[in-house]
Amino acid sequence: MTTHPTQQPRLRGREVTRLEALSDAVFGFAATLLVVSLEVPQTFPELTASLRGFGAFAFSFTMLILIWVAHNSFFRRYGLQDSWTVLINSVLLFVVLFYVYPLKFLSTALSGMFLGVSPAKPMVTSQHEMARLMIIYALGFIAVFLCFALLYRHAGSRWRELELDEVERLEARAWFLHYLIFAGVGCLSIAIVLAGGPLWVSGVIYALIGPLCTWNGKVARRRSEELEQRLAQEAGVS
């Protein structure tokens, strides 16, 4: 998710701002919402019941950490604190708090289906409910990564203020497309569900993110190298 598509970034946000501090607090609170239980088990059966949700918790926690890493990477690169950045970041934090519930629910449901880790009560009782769950999850997924795409689009539009050179402007566009791919695949998952396609396909379709982002990264690197060569030639001529 966070492999750099072009070059080593020039960091502009070296100090942690109040905006980032607030964001970290929200991410920390979201992590607590993923905890299997807020109460310490009092008996061994309660402990084993809590441990059944460890796999789902681990997957959900990993997803949350990856989102935080992407968030931290953006603010380290640009250090923006203008009104649009605050607005988009606020929407992102709001969505993250919403996203942890369907993320944990879906992770737990899938653990029961594929790993035989069954909760006390059936979490999904019909194909219709599973279809709605996939749509809810996809909506949260789309919203999260669309916010990241908008953040990079906004950073690219502030290139004069940030003093971005041509290569860095190309990089911002590459990251914009990178996260737009995430949102696009989420839309494709919803389309499959609404079209009545197999639900397993709407889940497996997320595997497209890897090759598509790899392709986007290769295109970005090639364009960056071509641009750097052209700039070097122009500097040599002058």
Q: Which two tokens stand for residue 82?
A: 């203008």
The separation between the first and the last C-alpha atoms of the chain, rounded to the nearest angstrom, is: 40
The answer to the question of residue 9 being in a domain is no
The answer to the question of residue 4 being in a domain is no
Q: What is the pLDDT of residue 227?
A: 85
Q: pLDDT digits over 123-132, tens only?
A: 677 888 889 9
**What total of structural domains would you count in the chain?**
1
Distances (CA, A) of 153 to 73, 89, 102, 140, 171: 15, 13, 28, 20, 11
The answer to the question of residue 12 being in a domain is no
> Which residue range is the domain that position 127 belongs to?
18-237
The answer to the question of residue 109 being in a domain is yes
**Amino acid, res. 234:** E
Angle between helices 209-237 and 166-194 (to 10 degrees): 160
What's the rounded Cα separation, in Å, for the pair 65 and 86? 21
Q: What is the pLDDT of residue 128?
A: 86
Q: What is the pLDDT of residue 107?
A: 79
The answer to the question of residue 10 being in a domain is no
The answer to the question of residue 5 being in a domain is no
What's the rounded Cα separation, in Å, for the pair 6 and 38? 43
3-class state of residue 46 by DSSP? helix
In tens digits, what is the pLDDT along the chain, a chain of 238 residues? 444 454 566 777 677 788 899 999 999 999 888 875 556 667 777 667 666 667 777 888 889 999 999 999 999 999 899 999 999 999 999 999 988 888 888 877 776 655 555 554 556 778 888 899 899 999 999 999 999 999 999 999 999 998 898 889 999 999 999 999 999 999 999 999 999 999 889 999 999 999 999 999 999 999 988 888 887 887 776 5
The answer to the question of residue 192 being in a domain is yes
Q: pLDDT digits over 183-193, tens only?
A: 999 999 999 99
The answer to the question of residue 35 being in a domain is yes
